[in-house]
Each structure stands twice: as C-alpha cells, then as structure tokens.
Amino acid sequence: MIIRDGTLAARISRSRLAGALMSPRGGVGVEELRGAVEGRTVLITGASYGLGAATARMLADAGATVLMTARTAAALAEVAGGRGHCYPADLSDPAAVGELAARVLAEHGPPDVVVSNAGKSIRRTLAASRFHDFQRTMAVNYLGPVRLLLDLLPAMRARGSGHLVNVSTIGVQVPPGPRWAAYQASKSAFDVFFRSAALEAAADGITASSVYMGLIRTRMSAPTASLANAPGQSADEAAGVLARAIARRPAKISPWWADLAELGAAVSRRPWEAAVRWRPRR
C-alpha cells in the first residue's frame, strides 16, 4: 500500500507539474486583487459553470460587484449565492445580447471590467459535421461577444476607463489541427476582432488583456476522451490566471511554449501539417 500510495502521489505531482508548465501562470495575492476590483463592476459571460463560475466567486470574495450572464438562470443563481447579479441570456441570440447590454447599462452603468469567457467547444470531423455546427460555434464564440462589446464600449469609452479580458485558447496560437476546424476558426475570429478593437479603445482609456488558456478541466472538456490524461488546470487555477489579467492588465498572457509554436508556425507550416495529418480509420 505504501508503494502504491507513493506511486500515486508521484503521478499526481508530475501531473500538476506538467499542467503548470503547459498552462499560463497566475500569481496575484488576495490584497492585490482586492485593490483592483473592490467596489468595481465586473461582467462575466459564461458564468454558470467552470472557469466563469470560479472567476465569479473569486471576484465576489475580493469585493467586486459581479454581473453574471449565461443561458441557465438556475445555475447562475446557484453560483451567485446572493453575492452576484444574474442576467440569463443566450449569446447566440443577437436580440438577447442587445437586451443584456441595455439592462446592464441601465442598472449598473458601464462595467469596469468585461470578461468574455463564454465559449462553445466542438471536436468533430468534417465528414460528421453539419453547417449548423459552424453557425452555432461562430455565434457563441465570435458574433455574440462582438455584439456585446459593440453595445457596451461606447459608454465605457465615454467614461474614459475600463478593462476588457478575452479568455482565448492556445488553439489560436498553434497551427490548425484535425477535427477542430469549427472551434479554432471561431476563437481565432474573436481574437483578431478583440486585438483590433483594443487598439482603438486604448485612445479612450480602455485597456485589454488576451489570455490564451491551455486545457482547463471542466464539463466543456470532459466529453473529449483524448484530453483525459493531458496536462491541464482546474477551474480555480485558471481563475487565478484571470486574476492576474484583471489586476495587472497585461496585453497578453500565454504559456511560454505557445509563443514558440506561434513563431514556428509563422516560419513554416509544413512540419506541423506532416506530423498531424489525420487519416480516418478503415
């Protein structure tokens, strides 16, 4: 039993080390985070589960006024626990997003921080895909958050302050992989929009952080069996990364190796494509 326990402990330790190396780092103290968000309004999309829920709890504990949005009202209420404001809305519905922005501005004014966290993941071969898969993924990962920021930014710019956080993915930095066409394309689209919008908003005092997350162990990643043993972070660990983005406002947070992969892809895509070329099983 001692040997087995020791082996298990070693495996857990190696897994955590691998996750720390493969994922972006957090690293702000409680007081630093409190100083950045106490008394300020933070809007978080996709706040009912996973990273969004963990971030909402963390910011509420630090004294922020947390505005939470997701599709499921009951799940939002459970996360809020009376400490947050719930705004059920489906980001894939443009009218619902417009109503969400109008309510937030009317009831709280322009947010101090907007965390674009909601996302839809899909891993599917082209042979098994339908056009609807791409429409839905693009609506949640790109068009919905674009509409929300277009509606909120004028008031934030008029006030002359604010911070935007995009919870992106290392899938934007690494070359495209088989079965991830819908997901990588939609996240890349919002990444480019966000970085372009940040350049314009900066003139009016708005800062922006693009956070390129590695694997986060949530219900979104759970259906992909191949990710079960991959190094990653818990939702609480990933929330610590967002705490760093919110408190220190860097333009970019990403794992060290993803930057190298991005550089390598810019130089030549042939080695990657040869390595990951996918062939269906016969």
Q: Tell me the one-letter amino acid at 124.
A: R
Annotate 99-117 with b (16+ C-beta within 10 A) or e (fewer): ebbeebbeeeebbbbbbbb
What residues contact residue 36 under an 8 Å CB cut-off, 6+ apart?
Answer: 62, 246, 247
Please report the pLDDT score of residue 61 as a whole number: 96
Say what the pLDDT of residue 164 is: 98
Catalytic residue among 49, 87, 142, 183: 183
- Burial of 252 (C-beta count, 10 Å sphere; 0-12/13-18/19+): middle
Report whether 217 contacts 18 (CB < 8 A).
Answer: no
pLDDT number for residue 229? 61
pTM of the model: 0.85
Q: How many residues does the chain have?
A: 282
Tens of each residue's pLDDT in the chain, 282 residues: 333 445 434 343 444 545 455 678 777 999 999 999 999 999 999 999 999 999 999 999 999 999 999 999 999 999 998 889 999 999 999 999 999 999 999 999 999 999 999 999 898 999 999 999 999 999 999 999 999 999 999 999 999 999 999 999 999 988 888 899 999 999 999 999 999 999 999 999 999 999 999 999 766 555 555 555 666 789 999 999 999 999 999 999 998 877 776 676 656 666 656 665 655 554
CA 254 – CA 233 distance, rounded (Å): 13
In this predicted structure, what is the pLDDT of residue 190? 98
183 catalytically annotated: yes
Q: Please give the pLDDT value at position 104.
A: 98
Pairing of β 84-88 and β 113-116: unpaired
